[in-house]
Structure 1
Amino acid sequence: MSKVKAAPPPGCIININDPQVQEAAIRIQASYRGHRSRKELREKGPPTFLQELKDVLLVEGSAAKLECRVSAFPDPFIVWSKDGKELKDGPKYRYVFEETDVVALVVRDGELADLGRYTVTIKNPFGQTSGSACIIVEVPAKVTKGPDSVKGRRGTTVVLKAEISGEPPPDVGWLKDGEDIEEDDRVFFDVGDTDTILTIKSARASDSGKYEVFVENNLGTDQSFARVDIM
């Protein structure tokens, strides 16, 4: 006596020609390949970069984040350094670990001193690797200390000095009574990395007046004033 094959319960029939079924099968295969690929990477041992560090821009007063993706098994030991000096995890520099393979460094309270090359070193018992990138700092132009007002005698040399900052380095100008100073061998100014100096040789009575130092870059402008009296 032959047995009658029972029909499958409702909803248990899979139509392999159904587009949704085919799409699900593709996703399962892709997920398996991804899992197998990750498993193979983990079995290799030595740390490797899946995504390298990239240069980032840091505006003064804000925070910047350097990040990369790595593969390493066992879990690696991470060290961040700046210009060859190790950075400690703390209020200024924060070590961050996201998901399973993202390693990051957050630099807080950005300032010009944060400009430089940062390196991450990744170690485990099977070896180590390292990568570097730069933090590029932008700081609005500023006169951090304006020139002092001075009184001088005729025929002497008078000097006005101002301390300045900014990144990119600012353009600098000096004005007298609201007019640009036209430099010559007697009246001229120099611009350094952190200061600018206006020199007035063989001072005359006509050199008396209101002097202004002006700084400007793509992030901002600033100025400061001083009085010169020649007697």
Structure 2
Amino acid sequence: MGRLGGVATLTVSSVLSKRTPNRAQARMSKAKSAPPPGCTIDINDPQVQEAAIRIQASYRGHRSRKELREKGPPRVLQELKDVVLVEGSAAKLECRVSAFPDPFIVWSKDGKELKDGPKYRYVFEDPDVVALVVRDGELSDLGKYTVKIKNPFGETADSACIIVEVPAKISKGPDSVKVKKGSTVTLKAEISGEPAPDVGWLKDGEDIEEDDRVFYDIGDTATTLTIKNAQPSDAGKYEIFVENNLGVDQSFARVDIL
């Protein structure tokens, strides 16, 4: 009986020791299960609710963009806009598009295709934006630019203008001349500017009053002063000036009557 009782007692004690953790073990278990400080989230906290709304909105936006890219031919979401290009600087035309698979892009100016290179640079800033950079601006860059966007499902196009602004300039001034009395004097200057510059002629610092004998013509790229039946009084210093909102230029010539 003693032996059996001892065995029974040992068995129950062993079972109890396996099933019932001691206080140290309980404290360790509790320590492991408790979250670290600052890791709890109160779903009633307004900041937590606002963050959750932002996450949901971001996901919906991502999903809607993905669905949009998977449907139909290319579309222009934000149109090209006219831009002003100042001589010597660069200008950029850009538009936002929707196209999937990635589209084939072609830029053209006044119907002529533009090749990607030092002068014209094709730019892809992100999957939805296509742009053209025009470098080293000059008056000849003025015109209508078109982007054609094409993928296997179709194509679309959009256009805008580059407006070039060039400071008023005299690229070649008039030459000084010596003529005989009664001859015809012609003074010519080559000019440029966009907007088209105002042009004026002066003699010895005074505005020239035109008549049938002394007058001047103004063209797109040149201006000419004509003096018919030149007289000694026509001798002097002649000045041509050009001006627009971007700049002023002038040049001089001497007329001698023999």
Distance 1:128 1:15 in 2: 51
Match of 1:172 in 2: 199
User: CA contact under 8 A between 1:45 and 1:74: conserved in structure 2?
Assistant: no
Match of 2:19 in 1: none
User: CA contact under 8 A between 1:174 and 1:212: conserved in structure 2?
Assistant: yes
Match of 2:181 in 1: 154
Match of 1:132 in 2: 159
Residue 115 (structure 2) pairs with residue 60 (structure 1): no
User: CA contact under 8 A between 1:114 and 1:135: conserved in structure 2?
Assistant: yes
| Residue number among 219, 232, 249 corresponding to 1:192 in the alignment | 219
| Residue number among 143, 151, 160 corresponding to 2:170 in the alignment | 143
Residue 136 (structure 2) pairs with residue 118 (structure 1): no
Distance 1:152 1:127 in 2: 70
Match of 1:98 in 2: 125
Distance 2:214 2:242 in 1: 19
Stretches of structure 2 that go unaligned for 5 or more consecutive residues are 1-29
Stretches of structure 1 that go unaligned for 5 or more consecutive residues are 1-5
Residue 71 (structure 2) pairs with residue 44 (structure 1): yes
Provide, for residues 160-212 of structure 1, a one-character-per-residue CA deviation record: whole Å limited to 9, x for no partner.
Answer: 11000001110000011111111111111110000001011111111011111
Secondary structure (helix, strand or coil) at the match of 2:51 reads helix
Residue 49 (structure 2) pairs with residue 31 (structure 1): no
The letter for the 1-side match of 2:140 is: A
Match of 2:35 in 1: 9
Provide, for residues 18-71 of structure 1, a one-character-per-residue CA deviation record: whole Å limited to 9, x for no partner.
Answer: 111111111112112211221121111311112111111111111111111111
Provide, for residues 111-169 of structure 1, a one-character-per-residue CA deviation record: whole Å limited to 9, x for no partner.
Answer: 11111111000000000010111111111100000011112222221111100000111
Distance 2:105 2:164 in 1: 24
Distance 2:113 2:180 in 1: 54
Question: Kindly tell me: are residues 8 and 71 of structure 1, through their superposed partners in 2, closer, same or farther at Cα, counting changes over 3 Å?
Answer: farther
CA RMSD of aligned residues (A): 1.4
User: CA contact under 8 A between 1:122 and 1:129: conserved in structure 2?
Assistant: yes
Deviation at 1:230, TM superposition (A): 1.5
Distance 1:26 1:136 in 2: 45
Secondary structure (helix, strand or coil) at the match of 2:241 reads strand
Residue 238 (structure 2) pairs with residue 217 (structure 1): no
Deviation at 1:16, TM superposition (A): 2.3
What TM-score does the superposition give when structure 2 sets the normalisation length?
A: 0.84
Match of 2:10 in 1: none
Distance 2:116 2:191 in 1: 32
Greater strand fraction, Structure 1 or Structure 2: 1
The runs of at least 4 aligned residues of structure 1 exceeding 6 Å deviation read none
The letter for the 1-side match of 2:143 is: G
The letter for the 2-side match of 1:154 is: K
Paired residue total: 226
The letter for the 2-side match of 1:172 is: V
Q: Which is greater in Rg?
A: 2
The letter for the 2-side match of 1:225 is: F
What percentage of aligned pairs have identical amino acids?
A: 85
After TM superposition, list the pairs within 5 Å mapping 1:71-86 onto structure 2. Answer: 71-86=98-113
